[in-house]
Structure 1
Amino acid sequence: MKAAETPIAIGADHAGLPLKAVLRAALEEAGHPVLDLGTHGPESVDYPDFGRAVAEAVAGGQARFGVVVCGTGIGISIAANRNPAIRCALVHDVTGARLTREHNDANVVAFGARMIGPEVALDALRTFLATPFAGGRHAPRVAKLSPDRNETP
């Protein structure tokens, strides 16, 4: 993972907390500034709050990318995608991480802590961060996902 100046926002519910800790440590070790938006303890919390917080940080420019984690990754990815500026993809492997950046210009990646092991998640996160958007034939499709359908990515 190549370090960047703009932070990477990260958030998880209680089920995703252990995987979030692993991912955060790897990001920091690689030199990425991290904006940790919680949760910070094992108490039961609601995943939409953390998906929304990460989405708002990315949409508002406080973070370049976002990482969200819950038990399955499904709920928190849905929560993040409620923000029209977010393209959050739930990934389970390196191929999904690469393709969602190349084809969809995803700006938030979601992981399911109960669905993926830490090593696979780390590899997928590294790939997500290192993969550029391919543009080209994918650009008009991504533009259709934008809040203003007339803007170009």
Structure 2
Amino acid sequence: MEEGVGSCLGEIQALTEIYEEHPTAVEATLLAAGLRWRDLEDPVSTGTDWGDVAAVLEHAPWDAPIRRAVNPKDWPWNDPARDLLAGIVDELRTLQALIGNLSGAKPHQFPEPIKRPVTAGGEHAGAIETGEATLEEIDRILGW
């Protein structure tokens, strides 16, 4: 899709909605990167613009406050080490079933793998995404 005004406005709307829903988590995540939400009021003197805020929030570390706020139940699964460890446990359990039952264990008798939270698209839950909005929608959200 072509980048344009609609794309930028949609990103601003999405960021504003995230801030309205999780203000302290957004502030804490921005502070870790040396930014503040209020810096957006005067981007010329602060050097902070919407793109900076979007980059920080969209690429926040797996354990950032915004990740915990957006996905409070499953955020620990964004840790690559946790997923790796779960995979190792799954393989060890399967190996134990194979070796422990030399009488001919069937695959349906093997232990179930550890459940991992995954979205319909196969990606981990808790992703922060931005979208598009009209100029009128942005004005309404910002109260202008």
Instruction: Select the structure with the greater relative contact order (CA < 8 A; seq sep ≥ 6).
Output: 2
Higher fraction of strand: 1
Q: Could you say which structure has the higher helix fraction?
A: 2
Greater Rg over alpha carbons, structure: 2
Q: TM-score, normalised by structure 1?
A: 0.27
- With normalisation by structure 2, the TM-score equals 0.28
